[in-house]
Amino acid sequence: MNFLAGAITEYIDVAQLALYVFWLFFAGLIYYLHRENKREGYPLVMGHGEKGRIEGFPGVPKPKTFILPHGAGTVSVPRPEVDTSAINARMTAPFPGAPIYPTGDPMASGVGPGAFAARTDKPDLMHDGHIRIVPMRIAGEFAINTSCPDPRGMEVVAGDGKVAGTIQDVWVDRSESIIRYYEVGVGGAGGKRVLLPVNFADVSRQRRQVGVNAIFAKHFAAVPALANADQITRREEDRICAYYGSGLLYAEPKRSESLL
């Protein structure tokens, strides 16, 4: 009996085997990628006040340790799960999946729009190891384009129409060459300085003011402070942005109500 080139038996040839091997490889690749995707965010933790872990299929992989750049140490993932009993919130109804509402000061509770990730408490670094986001008093190689308004010296007008402080400096992202934060002096000369994310600010050249609708003047004093006046860590970034974000819902009671 004559067989065509590549035939192994009357019903199987090399091309067929290659297709089956590809199918097995592709199925294994999908399994591997789906499993690796669960290194962060898994196992899922049940809602506030509930017990249980959700892993799904495939399960959470064994911890793997990664070496961080610039001698920043190591990190292992998956990490230990978060203790949800420490959340500053209460369930609004006695059934699983019910919404939660913050307890105490909602803008400082870390819940809802004010939630933030527990990122590393170290500054973000560039590829050369230098700190990425710094004030212009340190990044002397940067300057504000003359076609754009320079916010330094402008008053900050909060969402209640009151003056909250004055812009003292501008923080730039040296990697992206853009402005990330405005440094606001609160309480006059020698008072506290807090950061204002640029996406929450509206700079007006005509009025020489920086408008901030997210929070009110009284809230600026409680903006999370920096441990180091000349640098910001990743966790501090998240906490500061979350504080302004929470003000969009919690700065005053009527913001959390429906619009009718």
Residues 214 and 179 occupy one common structural domain: yes
- The tally of domains found in the chain comes to 2
User: Is residue 108 included in any domain, yes or no?
Assistant: no
Residues 154 and 196 occupy one common structural domain: yes
Query: What is the model's pLDDT at position 167?
Result: 95
Query: What is the model's pLDDT at position 259?
Result: 65
Query: What is the model's pLDDT at position 232?
Result: 96
Looking up residue 166, the CATH number of its domain turns out to be 3.90.50.10
Query: What is the model's pLDDT at position 1?
Result: 47
How remote is the C-alpha of 45 from its chain's centroid?
20
Residues 135 and 58 occupy one common structural domain: no
H or E element in which residue 77 lies: strand 74-77
> Measured between alpha carbons, how far is 209 from 162 in angstroms, rounded to an integer?
11
User: Is residue 95 included in any domain, yes or no?
Assistant: no
**SS in 3 state form for 39-68?**
HCCCCEECCCCCCCEECCCCCCCCCEEEEC
Residues 76 and 122 occupy one common structural domain: no
Q: Euclidean distance between the first and final Cα of the chain, in Å? A: 84
Residues 133 and 250 occupy one common structural domain: yes
Query: What is the model's pLDDT at position 4?
Result: 55
User: Is residue 165 included in any domain, yes or no?
Assistant: yes
Residues 141 and 47 occupy one common structural domain: no
> Measured between alpha carbons, how far is 160 from 163 in angstroms, rounded to an integer?
9
User: Is residue 46 included in any domain, yes or no?
Assistant: yes
User: Is residue 103 included in any domain, yes or no?
Assistant: no
Query: What is the model's pLDDT at position 213?
Result: 95
How remote is the C-alpha of 93 from its chain's centroid?
29
Ordered mean pLDDT values, 10 residues apiece, the chain (260 residues): 61 87 96 91 67 79 88 82 70 81 86 85 89 93 89 94 94 94 84 93 92 94 93 94 93 78
The pTM assigned to this predicted structure is: 0.79
User: Is residue 160 included in any domain, yes or no?
Assistant: yes
Q: Give which of 129, 88, 138, 133 is closest to 242, Cα–Cα.
A: 88
User: Which residue segment(s) compose the domain that 154 sits in?
Assistant: 113-256
Residues 180 and 51 occupy one common structural domain: no
Residues 160 and 220 occupy one common structural domain: yes
Looking up residue 17, the CATH number of its domain turns out to be 4.10.540.10
